[in-house]
């Protein structure tokens, strides 16, 4: 198939042109795109071992001590540069609950009467190990 490389090239070109457009004018509407301002974007992507991606606010993700150290700009980790944390040892199911917890923690930070969070019993052991890893 001789036409394929040309086709690919056109896509790549299309993408590069649109990205340059975004950075110049439309960055405020696409602020959750982590690819634009990697170091300082207000959203980061958490990726589970089986490939699920969760885009969460940076402040939410930084509730976890491990993720906070990963994303620390002064650390020069690749996660800090790309704004993308791959958590190989967590399944999408667990990471979803973890993200729910991170939001729950941030939301109730200054509350005196904190509501209970619902944890399905079959997930509690995996969540415990995730918590041990994430230092939350």
Binding mask 79-98 for other proteins (x = CB under 8 A): -------------------x
User: Quick one: 42 or 135, whose CB is closer to other proteins?
Assistant: 135
Q: Which of 56, 62, 80, 101 binds other proteins (CB under 8 A)?
A: 101
Q: How many CB atoms lie within 10 A of CB 61?
A: 25
From CA 77, how far away is CA 100, in angstroms rounded? 25
Tokens, residue 70? 């990963």
Give me the least distance between CB of 80 and other proteins, in Å please.
23
User: Quick one: 40 or 112, whose CB is closer to other proteins?
Assistant: 112
Q: Is 9 in the site for other proteins (CB under 8 A)?
A: no
Helices (H) and strands (E) in the chain, counts: 6, 3
Give me the least distance between CB of 100 and other proteins, in Å please.
10
- Chain Cα centroid distance, residue 81: 13
For the CA atoms of 54, 105, 80, 17, the dihedral, rounded to the nearest 10 degrees, stands at 40
Q: Is 12 in the site for other proteins (CB under 8 A)?
A: no
Give me the least distance between CB of 114 and other proteins, in Å please.
5
Give the strand order in the sheet containing 53-57. 53-57, 43-48, 84-87
Q: Is 59 in the site for other proteins (CB under 8 A)?
A: no
From CA 19, how far away is CA 134, in angstroms rounded? 33
Residues near other proteins (CB under 8 A)? 98, 101, 104-105, 108-114, 116-117, 119-125, 127-136
């Amino acid at each position: 198939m001789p036409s394929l490389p040309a086709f690919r090239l056109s896509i790549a070109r299309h993408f590069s042109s649109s990205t340059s457009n975004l950075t110049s004018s439309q960055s405020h509407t696409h602020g959750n795109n982590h690819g634009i301002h990697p170091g300082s974007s207000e959203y980061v992507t958490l990726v589970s071992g089986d490939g699920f991606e969760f885009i969460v606010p940076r402040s939410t993700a930084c509730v976890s001590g491990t993720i906070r150290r990963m994303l620390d700009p002064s650390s020069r980790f690749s996660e800090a540069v790309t704004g993308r944390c791959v958590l190989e040892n967590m399944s999408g199911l667990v990471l979803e609950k973890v993200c729910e917890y991170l939001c729950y923690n941030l939301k109730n930070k200054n509350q005196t009467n904190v509501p209970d969070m619902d944890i399905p019993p079959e997930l509690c052991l995996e969540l415990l190990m995730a918590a041990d890893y994430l230092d939350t």
